[in-house]
A and B are shown apart, each in its own frame.
Chain A
Amino acid sequence: MNTLRSNNIEQAALSCVRLVKRYPDVVAVDGIDLEVRMGECFGLLGPNGAGKTTTVEIFEGLTKPDGGTVEVLGEAWGKGRDTALRNRFGVQLQETQLAEKLTVKETVQLFRSFYKRGRDVDSIINLVELNEKRDARVGKLSGGQKQRLALACAMAGDPDLLFLDEPTTGLDPQARLKLWDIVEQFRAGGGSVILTTHYMEEAARLCDRVAIMDHGHVIASGTPAELIASLDADQIVEFSVKGKVEKDALERLSGVRRVRANGDGYALTVQDIGAALPALLSELEQERAELVSLTTHQATLEDVFVSLTGRMLRDV
């Protein structure tokens, strides 16, 4: 166990211990421990304001923590090796708007010039599939294209590690898929990725491991499968009714693990849907409650977050 640990530290793309960042009105990061292995894609999952961006910006050396230690690719910030370290990772920030009057090629060329190593400009543009837009002004690009350009800038130095802060927020599904492909290609080349997101599908698709954050704390971490398994249930049944159904009665139904009020009805966390669904329907009939709607879905990371915090990820 001990040897395995020390081995992990040697291989860590990033580690932080008891990380704290306080702002006058809020403790944005409240004692976080994380470790990301080389070659891994690690997701920080949580609602807006959970402290994800602050955490990542501490990792990127943009924000100084008030407490705790950070090591990125085996180096700590402020030890005289900052520039060497910055040469080894790439960054995509949440709100950056690149210069609109420059073209795609000029932008990539500019970022490429900052890094010691890296591919030539054209092959970086190829990587993010913007060849057709290479001479277009940044201001004329679509949201998805801008985001891919941001990714190109992040990859301009052929980095070992990529930080992506909400890379697909506001993109349509197709643009999102395209971006995911690029991130997966980068990983296939051996790169490590740390990304923040509040999209469950994104975390589930891209991440080997995730940490769920809320109010500056990590409230759960593990592989997406592990976290979903921790619900001890594989289906979620959501329904709404006209009339009254007691919560206690629902909790007693066979196969139901958890009950949560949800609008005019409830959301049930269910382990055995084959048993739970007939039981639910007969309960409703008994109570003379009229069923208005009923849906079921496979449990997701979203449900993990809801069961941990009682809140939905998206509406906070």
Chain B
Amino acid sequence: MSEQGIINGTKIEREQVVAKAPEAANAKRFHPLWELTIARVRETLREPEVIFWVFIFPILLVFALGIAFRNTGPQKIRVAVERNETAASASAQAADALSRSSDLDVVELSPAEAQQALRSGKVALVVRPSVDEDAAARGHSDAANSNDVSASSRLSLYASFSYRFDPTRTESRQARMVVDDALERAAGRRDVTQSNDETITEPGARYIDFLIPGLLGMNLMGSGLWGVGFAVVNARTRKLLKRFAATPMRRSHYLLSFVLSRLFFLILEVAAVIAFAWFTFGFTIHGSLLGMAFLLLLGALTFSGVGLLVASRPKTIEGVSGLMNLVMMPMWLLSGTFFSSARFPNFLQPFIKALPLTALNDSLRAVMNDGASVMTSWATVSILLAWCVISFIIALKIFRWQ
């Protein structure tokens, strides 16, 4: 072979090698974004813990909360009647009178026990009977004079009562009214006007109905941040990110694959919770399914964007865990998952409203509970969109590949 031949030789040999497998020279391939997404989904599904956290845990949560706050008719208020040695019959009679009220749940306790029960919130109010000597004397003569048969069953008026309660507790104030009313009636008060109750139960107004959209929102946040954050930082510590950075892979494709793979799990996650809530608690969706799907999709995208942002720099799992808790904590507390965020003071409201989970919870409730159209939630939808786009762009800019 001549000198020239050696220089060109490499090329010639190369063609021969390729020629040995001509059908394989330029094989068909799928889009890298698709391959990355599929790889993400596979990796996640092969992690047994994931199945628990994504599917089982939210269902357990719905179940536990649904049971704890189930609507078994109107809730009874617990009150205590003090056992009084000098007015033993007054105590017993008062307890008897109160227990006939359907709104009350009565216990008789010693003064010390009653005090303890009140302080620890086990009862909303304590009734303390005391004997009024003058009234007793008057009462005896009354009873002797009028031959009223019912007088014996009537609460004697020889007793007077004092109510001990904490006026800052709504339940206690309510108890004060109900107890007083019951005792007065038992003592023989007659109502002047005729009234009757018409009770209704609005579907969608139960606590469980309020809870489900909030839980869906919280799940999307949790699985978005943990799912994306852990996987990214894990890949970084294993130098897999660096390896990808050495290929022609587009970096935005890598980040997008996390967002897209979340959508796959979103469907399963949401379906599991809603199906369970429907089956167990008769939960129904009042608004359009399409509107709800749109909001859930947007929520999942937003939280995977936030997850990418949180995971864009940390080098260790410990580092990303701390950061993740820091980001999620305010939303767990403030975003109205378990109770309405309107309970927080006014000066906090602008901050609370700007949080992505508040935006998601509020718009989900509007659609799922109130049957509103997504259009009416344009403000919260824009907040979500802004979080989604901005966090993704910043993540892409500051992402640490090695």
Contact = CB atoms under 8 A, between A and B. Distances in A.
A83 interface: yes
B111 to A, nearest CB: 65
B35 A113 contact: yes
Nearest to A139: B46
B190 interface: no
B27 A119 contact: yes
A96 B21 contact: no
A62 interface: yes
Interface in A93-118: 93, 95-99, 101-102, 106, 109-118
A96 B36 CA distance: 17
A98 B240 contact: yes
Contacts of A228: none
Nearest to B238: A97
A61 B246 contact: yes
A106 B402 CA distance: 23
Interface string B190-211: 0000000000000000000000
Contacts of A11: 7
Given A101-B42, A109-B35, A96 B30 contact: no
A188 interface: yes
Contacts of A84: 248
A137 B42 CA distance: 12
Contact of A96 (B31, B39, B42, B239): B239
Nearest to B6: A39
Interface residues of B, number: 41
Q: Which of B28, B42, B240, B247 has the most CB of A within 10 A?
A: B247
A263 interface: no
B13 interface: yes
Given A101-B42, A190-B13, A96 B240 contact: yes
B28 A120 contact: yes
Contact of A62 (B238, B240, B246, B250): B246
Nearest to B237: A97
B17 A189 contact: yes
Given A101-B42, A106-B42, A115 B10 contact: no
Interface string A254-296: 0000000000000000000000000000000000000000000
Interface string A219-253: 00000000000000000000000000000000000
Contacts of A116: 248
B35 A110 contact: yes
A96 B13 CA distance: 32
Contacts of B343: none
A157 to B, nearest CB: 7
Contacts of A137: 46
B26 A118 contact: yes
A115 B248 contact: yes
B46 A121 contact: no
A176 interface: no
Contacts of B250: 83
A137 B39 CA distance: 13
Contacts of B249: 114
Contacts of B9: 39
Contacts of A91: 243, 246-247
A93 B243 contact: yes
Residue of A116, A119, A121, A191 with highest tally of chain B CB at under 10 A: A119
Nearest to A98: B240
B245 interface: yes
B144 interface: no
A96 B243 contact: yes
Contact of B26 (A95, A109, A117): A117
Contacts of B282: none
A133 B259 CA distance: 31
Interface of B: 7, 9-11, 13-14, 17-18, 21, 24-32, 34-36, 39, 42-43, 46-47, 235, 238-240, 242-250, 401-402
Q: 8 shortest A-B CB distances, which residue pairs? A: A120-B27, A190-B14, A113-B35, A39-B10, A190-B10, A86-B248, A189-B17, A101-B46
29 contacts: A39-B9, A39-B10, A62-B245, A86-B247, A86-B248, A91-B243, A93-B246, A99-B235, A101-B43, A102-B39, A109-B30, A110-B36, A112-B29, A113-B35, A114-B32, A114-B244, A115-B247, A117-B25, A118-B27, A119-B21, A119-B24, A119-B25, A119-B27, A123-B24, A137-B46, A188-B17, A189-B18, A190-B13, A190-B17
Interface of A: 11, 38-39, 60-62, 83-84, 86-87, 91, 93, 95-99, 101-102, 106, 109-121, 123, 137, 153, 157, 188-191
